[in-house]
Structure 1
Amino acid sequence: MTTFIEGNVLSHEPETRRVVVMFTTSVAFDNASTSTLTEMDFAGCDLSLLCSGRAPLLADHRKDIGSILGVVETAWIDEGQAFALVRFASTPFASEAWSLVRDGILTCASMGFNYKEEAITVRHTDTHSIQTIGVWRPFEVTLCAVPANWGARIFADAPVSVVDDVRRTAAEQRRDQIRLTWKTHLDQEILKKATTLAPHLAAALGTDPARTAEAIREAVEAGG
């Protein structure tokens, strides 16, 4: 399933046409003026598309090429709020929107996301039903004139360190992933060596093959 949700724009980095957008929170919201509220479970959020460098910044959720305002460079979650760093294109349409953002006129944002219906749970209070979306993946960030929730908070300029912090975190995550991938590869090579050598060495030494394989693995690990 696909749906949309409101958020906020945080002006930032005018010289590079970048903006920090708070595109959703964990607080329950009413997206259709009904007695049913919706809340997002951040534990089930998949930000892979927004962090891929390919997700678009759109105008009013329109999916045609002419409605592209820019690109989402990365996204992250912090204390019950989801943020994205977006960069505006240099087209006339995007430049016009950028001017509205820079001047503090356009301050409302939204997102489009897919979710799994089977991962939705519902609980009831005296006044509302609250549905929690447990598994969801945002695929675009949108700037819009009229948000679904007028009570959404409008933020001041983000600190200059925000982008540097995000980039540093992304670099650390990439480094950790490379290390994990290499360690996994190394562990697999160790296991192959131990499996191949252990029976022959155990036969020559008269030792237990399983204990011999474990000793080989430890020796290779210590040497690596």
Structure 2
Amino acid sequence: MRVAIAGAGAVGRSIAQELVSDGHQVMLIERDRAHFDPNSVEQAEWVQADACELSSLEDAGMQLCDVVIAATGDDKVNLVVSLLAKTEFAVRRVIARVNDPTNEWLFTESWGVDVAVSTPRLLAAMVEESVTIGDVVRLMTLRQGQANLVEITLDEATPFAGRAVSELTLPRDAALVTILRGGRVIVPQPDDTLEGGDELLFVTTAAVEQDIKKALGY
């Protein structure tokens, strides 16, 4: 897979290093000479250019990329990069970094964004996930806000302890995708049983998040 990353600061370089370690082709696009350091991720292709300029992106070969990640520290730049990637180069998957949570509402399909990643939201979700029992914790927004990845931790007194997954009546537009139990990752099957302390991950629409909670007896 060929991936273009706009922004070669600490975040962009870290993403690039992970991707090249997994065998992907990575192109880092950076305008600021201070952040242009090909030695930091030697396996990546480095391009010194303004990622908001259409001609620069054409010269860099963005049209050949499967995924574009807008990872700069400026939300305006990330939105422009996302829009150009989707509308001018028809990139299949566009992921954008949200620096200021108040701007998150802008990072939608209208701006070419498939997935918006808000670091403050993720950190807050991790804190809530670690201390919240029986409540819905939103971990990530998917598909231009059409669905969310949410988590609910069952308490030890859950009425579902020992009951099969097939007995869980979920609302429409909600799916149980993973059960985290200790060090295990369980892909739920109908005959699998639930236990107190299980962390349940669901993909769902925002409209039925609270219905999932009710289905679990909370």
TM-score, normalized by the shorter chain, greater than 0.5: no
TM-score (norm 1): 0.20
Q: Which has the higher contact order (CA 8 A, sep 6+)?
A: 1
TM-score (norm 2): 0.20
